[in-house]
Structure 1
Amino acid sequence: MNPSSPWWTPAVHADRRPLLLTRNRILAAIRGWLAGEGFTEVDPAALAISPGNEAHLHGFRTEAIGNDGVPRSMYLHTSPEFAMKKLLAAGETRIHAFSHVWRNRERGPLHSPEFTMLEWYRVDEPYTQLMVDTVTFLQLAAHESGASHLRFRDRTCDPFQEPERVTVADAFEAHAGVDLLGSINPDGSTDAERLGVELDRIGVRRASDDTWSDMLSRVLSEKVEPKLGIGRITILDHYPAAEAALARRVPGDGRVAERFEVYACGVELANGFGELTDPEEQRRRFEAEMDEKARVYGERYPLDEDFLAALALMPPASGIAMGFDRVVMLATGAPRIDDVMWVPVG
């Protein structure tokens, strides 16, 4: 493939087409599995009042003009999460969606500003079931591509092996020599100074104004993530509560939450939760996230008041989002996300 030629030239498309047909087979296999398990496919609207309320998540803003001619700010969603949880509040119990989503400030081999997300929810089922689902999807992807292993660059992962399940704290200790829980208080609040001492000790750079979250992200990306999902799938479980704005706390330990991520070949593929359903607690977390966004980026996104109201009706549930294009990348060994998208963003 000649990277200097546009994707729509016949020669480039001929090189890409086998990957794209594999993408279609993987999508059909996963969709068929979900239907067999009693999931209803839904189709959330892409335009939303809020793109999401996480500090470092960036949306695309647009303007909707009503019949009265008055403009109203709206956003392309960064995830169908808020809409799908409203459907759970309305009475749905097992739902999934293959949604195009948009995230600003994201471009690279693993990132596209527009990509496909598979999101699914189970009412009254534990979040550990989502781990099983995700491994099944990775096995389906490998099967449909005719591959025995997932691949990214020089890293491989056998999705048919028993996955490794490890807590974030244990992974930090094993791969970075950092005592993460030592910087988290029993109520889930964090101690940036104490974590900073840990970074200095292991020689990871930090800025004087880094927050605890900044430092955690740096250690995770530099020291921990490259070691995850090597040889077999890694399920990184029990994220710090401060890093899980939409998840329940783990019973008996307020420092951590029912949040996990799934890795293969050092690449993060899915992010799952035991869902928080307390609207007042969710409001407090969203407001804290928006305060941080305003501090760092000078902007904040509105809260979706309908979503917060719906949480009061939402039953206990578990939910997860998976980067579908990344799964196709690893199943086919493609080096860039654009290689497995029918029409890449220009």
Structure 2
Amino acid sequence: MQTPTASPWWSAHVHHDRRPRLIARNAITRAVRRWFEDEGFVEVETAALQVSPGNEAHLHAFATEALGHGGERTVLYLHTSPEFAAKKLLAAGEQKIFSLGKVWRNRERGPLHHPEFTMLEWYRTGAPYEALMADCAALMALAAETAGARRLSFRGQSVDPFAEPERLTLAEAFDRFAGIDLISTVSDDGSTDREALAAAARAAGIRVAEDDVWADVFSRVLVEKIEPHLGQGRATVLCEYPTPEAALARVKPDAPKVAERFELYACGVELANAFAELTDPAEQRRRLIAEMDEKERVYGERYPLDEDFLAALAHMPPACGAALGFDRLAMLAVGAERIEDVLWTPVAE
């Protein structure tokens, strides 16, 4: 006897139930574009196919091949973010840009993850990264207002999207929720004390494997002890990440152990990742190679560096940039339980 399966999304009755949320998503899309245009931003459309999909250790890309006229084959990737291309536009002279388009990430599927999703990414030249915190707060309020929601909600949790977000540093969060002195395990040069963090994590009840490196332990504490407390009642801006966890961000001038990076959380859901941009090509190369070394250690593969991007960094002005999961924001605004509830045509499983 076969187990009955759920009706596909294109079934008339399923689509009928999903449609109000999809129409609300469309309204939020229009409102977001108007907001950026009113703020003086230019919308850009970056190429989805890139020589490098991004060089973060734990992001996985979809690869394809391009055939030249002579039959030569070139490996290209669907981008995991428009970041590298957008920064080239900043080097070219653009000052305030935003992109609202599709990105692709492999090995990701679940209530909050989909292999193809929409990312809202924007950049401000000559602005401090705190300006992005204000942008994030404004966009949350805009999405809620457009959807007619007084609160953002997800799985029994809710936040007031019109309240000023709480600002919490990683050091404060690790101390408050795990009793761990995080910054003492990081040196001014970015090196880390794995044994000290592992011992503190075990004392906090976190399982640590023998082959876990510092970054593994950091991530486990963040997921198990910190994230469940974020974005409760009002959104949380989790900021000042340790430099080893901010490969593309500028070091905080008066605190060399941390970088000018923050993430936005609402209802325990990570909505955005933002930072003041690193513009030193040599330092950026060093960090990206370190990320790919870690990727090879964990997954046995690595992606090429985008040499064009590294060359452009030398011409890029000081800037800050943010990436926000647009589908997740729409989810919270309409009270959906799964990301697929706000996608017009989900990818087949």
* Category of TM-score, reference length = shorter chain: over 0.9
User: What is the CA RMSD across the aligned residues, in angstroms?
Assistant: 0.9
| Alignment counterpart, residue 95 of structure 1, candidates 76, 90, 97 | 97
Please tell me whether residue 20 in structure 1 is matched to residue 25 in structure 2: no
| Alignment counterpart, residue 105 of structure 1, candidates 104, 107, 110 | 107
Q: Structure 2 CA distance, aligned partners of 1:6 and 1:159? A: 33
Aligned length, in residue pairs: 345
Q: Structure 1 CA distance, aligned partners of 2:304 and 2:294? A: 14
Report the AA paired with residue 140 of structure 2: L
Q: Structure 1 CA distance, aligned partners of 2:16 and 2:68? A: 44
Q: Any residues of structure 2 matched to 1:318-329 within 5 Å, and which?
A: 318-329=320-331
Instruction: Specify the alignment match of 1:37 in structure 2.
Output: 39
| Alignment counterpart, residue 311 of structure 1, candidates 310, 313, 318 | 313
Query: Does the CA contact (< 8 Å) of 1:189 and 1:255 recur in 2?
Result: no
Query: Does the CA contact (< 8 Å) of 1:118 and 1:324 recur in 2?
Result: yes
Report the AA paired with residue 109 of structure 2: R
Instruction: Specify the alignment match of 1:169 in structure 2.
Output: 171
Alpha carbons of structure 1 residues 3 and 256: separation in structure 2 relative to 1, 3 Å: farther
Report the AA paired with residue 50 of structure 1: S
Instruction: Specify the alignment match of 1:132 in structure 2.
Output: 134
Give the secondary structure class of the aligned counterpart of 2:263: strand
Query: Does the CA contact (< 8 Å) of 1:61 and 1:76 recur in 2?
Result: yes
| Alignment counterpart, residue 211 of structure 1, candidates 189, 210, 213 | 213
Q: Structure 2 CA distance, aligned partners of 1:120 and 1:310? A: 18
User: How far off is 1:188 after superposition?
Assistant: 2.0
1:25-75 per-residue CA deviation (whole Å, 9 max, x = no partner) reads 111111101000110000000000000011111111111111111111010
Instruction: Specify the alignment match of 1:291 in structure 2.
Output: 293
Instruction: Specify the alignment match of 1:230 in structure 2.
Output: 232
Give the secondary structure class of the aligned counterpart of 2:192: coil
Report the AA paired with residue 216 of structure 2: D
Report the AA paired with residue 272 of structure 1: A
Instruction: Specify the alignment match of 1:276 in structure 2.
Output: 278
Q: If the length of structure 1 is used for normalisation, what is the TM-score?
A: 0.99
User: How far off is 1:253 after superposition?
Assistant: 1.3
User: How far off is 1:182 after superposition?
Assistant: 1.5
Query: Does the CA contact (< 8 Å) of 2:143 and 2:330 recur in 1?
Result: yes
Q: If the length of structure 2 is used for normalisation, what is the TM-score?
A: 0.98
Q: Structure 2 CA distance, aligned partners of 1:242 and 1:56? A: 14
Q: Structure 2 CA distance, aligned partners of 1:196 and 1:249? A: 24
Instruction: Specify the alignment match of 1:251 in structure 2.
Output: 253
| Alignment counterpart, residue 340 of structure 1, candidates 328, 339, 342 | 342
User: How far off is 1:159 after superposition?
Assistant: 1.1
Query: Does the CA contact (< 8 Å) of 1:259 and 1:274 recur in 2?
Result: yes
Instruction: Specify the alignment match of 2:152 in structure 1.
Output: 150
Report the AA paired with residue 81 of structure 1: E
Please tell me whether residue 71 in structure 1 is matched to residue 77 in structure 2: no
Give the secondary structure class of the aligned counterpart of 2:294: helix
Give the secondary structure class of the aligned counterpart of 1:215: helix
Q: Structure 2 CA distance, aligned partners of 1:159 and 1:240? A: 28
Q: Structure 2 CA distance, aligned partners of 1:219 and 1:248? A: 24
Q: Structure 1 CA distance, aligned partners of 2:223 and 2:82? A: 26
1:232-262 per-residue CA deviation (whole Å, 9 max, x = no partner) reads 0100010010000000000121110000000
Query: Does the CA contact (< 8 Å) of 1:126 and 1:274 recur in 2?
Result: yes
Give the secondary structure class of the aligned counterpart of 1:204: coil
Report the AA paired with residue 299 of structure 1: E
Deviates more, 1:157-166 or 1:259-268: 157-166
Q: Structure 1 CA distance, aligned partners of 2:5 and 2:15? A: 12
Deviates more, 1:178-187 or 1:324-333: 178-187
User: How far off is 1:275 after superposition?
Assistant: 0.1
Give the secondary structure class of the aligned counterpart of 1:11: helix
User: How far off is 1:186 after superposition?
Assistant: 2.1
